[in-house]
Amino acid sequence: MNEETEVLRVRPFESERQKAMFNLAYSYQMILGLTMQVLKKYELNDQHYNILKILQEADPAQLLIGEVKKQLMDKRGDLSRLIDKLVRRNLVLRETNVENRREVLVAIGREGVTLIVDIDRQLREERDTKIGLSEPEAKQLNTLLDKLRG
């Protein structure tokens, strides 16, 4: 946490653990803000991006909507509506499962792959310029965050 953030607090933190939790939430908001700046240019939100990344990882396979939902980082909102927007923009392909007509399959489309590569490049540039962690520091942070989640 920087000095500017410290000044905003009237009372000191009760413990280093409390400070760490506040610092984690504050850092998440900062990173989300950077991400949203990039995504805004493409008229996407963080959930759209997360869906595209899930489908990119599965490519060329199709996934059931339920499989996508399980992997979403943020489960707020209506997944069908989010996917509808991506389908309308030709970023995602959707079809009914021929083996079970109640199931819907989705996959990333060619335009989605092209878009996600461009977005990832821009996000990498943002991270590299605005997040001042070296690779060893990032590795140490990852280890601590993994430990935090148990």
Tens-digit pLDDT profile for residues 78-126: 899 999 999 999 999 999 988 899 999 999 999 999 999 999 999 999 8
- Residue 28 maps to a domain: no
In this prediction, residue 144 carries a pLDDT of 94
* 3-state SS class at 97: coil
- For residues 42 and 119, the answer to whether their CB atoms sit within 8 Å is yes
Is 92 within the bounds of a domain?
Answer: yes
| pLDDT of residue 21 exceeding 80 | yes
The percent of residues above 70 in pLDDT, for the chain, comes to 93
Nearest to 107 by CA among 98, 117, 95: 95
Task: Give first-to-last CA distance, the chain, whole Å.
Answer: 24
The answer as to whether 6 is a domain residue is no
Is 48 a member of any domain? Answer: yes
pLDDT of 14 strictly over 50: yes
Residue 7 has what pLDDT? 47
pLDDT of residue 9: 61
DSSP run (H or E) holding 93: strand 92-96
Confirm whether 29 is domain-assigned. no
Structure confidence at residue 11 as a pLDDT band (50, 70, 90): confident
Stretch (H or E) spanning 42? none
Per the structure, the complete domain to which residue 50 belongs is given by: 44-149
CB of 83 closer than 8 Å to CB of 120: no
CATH assignment at residue 112: 1.10.10.10
- Confirm whether 3 is domain-assigned: no
Mean per-residue pLDDT, 72-78: 82
**Does the residue 115 lie in any domain?**
yes
In this predicted structure, what is the pLDDT of residue 132? Answer: 83
pTM (whole model) above 0.95: no
CB-CB contact of 109 with 93 (8 Å): yes
Cα 132 to its chain centre, rounded Å, is 20
The answer to whether position 2 is within a domain reads no
Q: How many domains does the structure of the chain reveal?
A: 1
Strand partners for 104: 96
